[in-house]
Structure 1
């Protein structure tokens, strides 16, 4: 494939959706940069990710029809990335995907040249963000935080963006990662 696949990972609540939205808005005039929209078996949330909500039956029908380039399950939901990303990549586009840390090895197997971008936040900020979004109970938040500590990407190099501070700083770094070839990488832990 000729294009670049930017595979964004990080804990739920790390700010992936916010950074992807900011980058999509900032790079809207760049025809060679595409942002994949995920299909998810959860209702739409106007403050959350711009995903295509669907029932499990509809999702499974798409799986059976081979309509997903990537698919995984997590946190009680199913996630899918449409096959259009392959066309975009073959046309030389940079494609940004909101991925999964647990599915990263499979993503590398399918797209060996993908560029992983890890969005990191400190545990205290992660807890605060999860509480503020109000999507999960206190027990579910505790489970997410524990899961975050257990999931560590098993890759050698990725771009690491810290999202503890001002959104503008993390957004600037993320947009730069999308626009520029990978030069500096940090060890993913």
Structure 2
């Protein structure tokens, strides 16, 4: 898929607890309609702060079979998808921000070679505290999740930055806004 008119896909990723949804919300509130923020389709009920549409496994499978996802992946027993509407937005010259998966960044790079990749991260202690507050996993599961954090290696030609979100949301949020602004 080409990115017409210089429009760019901004592929945001990072470990659970890094604050991706908070940062995306921060940016979305401040940037206005100049940039399109995609939502994800996930086979999990909607929770606070997350921009997604909950689907059953059957609904997800039907949409996948009909080619309605531009990107899709599975992680921790859940299915995630980003709708084909992002391709239309890119074709119309709109920058598009996607909340993606580190494990599937290579797929996004192959489909959107000019994409800007943004790794959101935080210190292990901050990640552990945020995951505990979220309450989806017990202490043992959180420890296991943090122990298996995969490293991300993208080809040299990929546009890639890391934003540390261990501190104030506004500090990391300004960095994300700068990155999105540079992609417009």
TM-score range, shorter chain: over 0.9
Q: How does 1:173-184 map to 2 (within 5 A)?
A: 173-181=175-183
State the TM-score, normalized to the length of structure 1: 0.90
Secondary structure in structure 1 of the residue aligned to 2:102: coil
Q: CA deviation at 1:181?
A: 3.9
Matched, 1:44 2:46: yes
Q: Equivalent residues in 2 for 1:68-79 (5 A)?
A: 68-79=69-80
Does the CA contact (< 8 Å) of 1:32 and 1:92 recur in 2?
no
Q: Under a length normalisation based on structure 2, what TM-score does the superposition of the two structures give?
A: 0.92
Runs of 4+ in 1 over 2 A off after TM superposition: none
Structure 2 Cα separation of the partners of residues 119 and 18 of structure 1: 11
Question: 1:18 corresponds to which residue?
Answer: 22
Corresponding residue of 2:92: 91
Unaligned runs of 5+ in 1: 183-189
Distance 1:181 1:6 in 2: 7
Give the 3-state SS of the residue equivalent to 1:81 in structure 2.
strand
RMSD: 1.3
Deviation readout 1:100-122 (Å, 9 max, x if unpaired) = 00001111111111100011111
Q: 1:32: Cα distance to partner? A: 3.0
Q: Report the Cα offset of residue 174 of structure 1.
A: 0.6
Task: Give 1:147 shift.
Answer: 2.0
Helix, strand or coil for the counterpart of 1:103?
Answer: helix
User: Structure with the greater relative contact order (CA < 8 A, sep ≥ 6): 1 or 2?
Assistant: 2
CA distance in 2, matches of 1:41, 1:143: 22
Higher-helix-fraction structure: 2
Q: How many residues are aligned here?
A: 177
- Superposed CA deviations along residues 81-107 of structure 1, whole A, max 9, x for unmatched, are 000000000111110000000001111
What is the match of residue 109 of structure 1?
A: 110
1:136-147 equivalence runs, <5 A: 136-147=137-148
